[in-house]
Amino acid sequence: MKILNPKFEISAVKKSQYPKSNLPEIVLVGKSNVGKSSFINIMINRKSLARTSSEPRKNTSN
Ligand SMILES: Nc1nc2c(ncn2[C@@H]2O[C@H](COP(=O)(O)OP(=O)(O)O)[C@@H](O)[C@H]2O)c(=O)[nH]1
Ligand SMILES: [Mg+2]
């Protein structure tokens, strides 16, 4: 898979905000701090398009 121009579209919280697109979609599921954002950045070859926590186990509630 070759990803050429990744960009952040939206953090949609309701259906009306979902991007209108016919592109294939990928679902990435996992509990907090397992490395979802880090995985996205690796896959798209960017350092921080997806924001990762500064330390393992650190999240918005601590
Ligand atoms: N040791 C280790 N830490 C990782 C790995 N992947 C991510 N992390 C760290 O775990 C923390 C949480 O990662 P993050 O991508 O923000 O998780 P998310 O909450 O699932 O999006 C961050 O501090 C990452 O640097 C990994 O493969 N090994
Ligand atoms: Mg994340």
pLDDT at residue number 42 = 95
- Global confidence as pTM: 0.86
Instruction: Please give the distance, rounded to the nearest whole angstrom, from the Cα atom of residue 21 to the centre of ligand 2.
Output: 23
- DSSP for 29-61 reads ---TTSSHHHHHHHHHT-SSSS---SSTT--TT
Averaged over 41-61, what is the pLDDT?
86
pLDDT at residue number 1 = 77
pLDDT at residue number 55 = 84
Q: Which ligand is nearest to the CA of 39?
A: 1
Helix (H, G, I), strand (E, B) or coil at 17: helix
Mutate to test the pocket of ligand 1, among 52, 55, 58, 61 (most ligand atoms within 8 A of CB): 52
Decide if 44 contacts 4 (C-beta within 8 A): no
Instruction: Please give the distance, rounded to the nearest whole angstrom, from the Cα atom of residue 16 to the centre of ligand 1.
Output: 31
The answer, yes or no, to whether residue 61 has pLDDT greater than 70, is: no
The answer, yes or no, to whether residue 38 has pLDDT greater than 90, is: yes
The answer, yes or no, to whether residue 40 has pLDDT greater than 80, is: yes
Instruction: Please give the distance, rounded to the nearest whole angstrom, from the Cα atom of residue 57 to the centre of ligand 1.
Output: 8
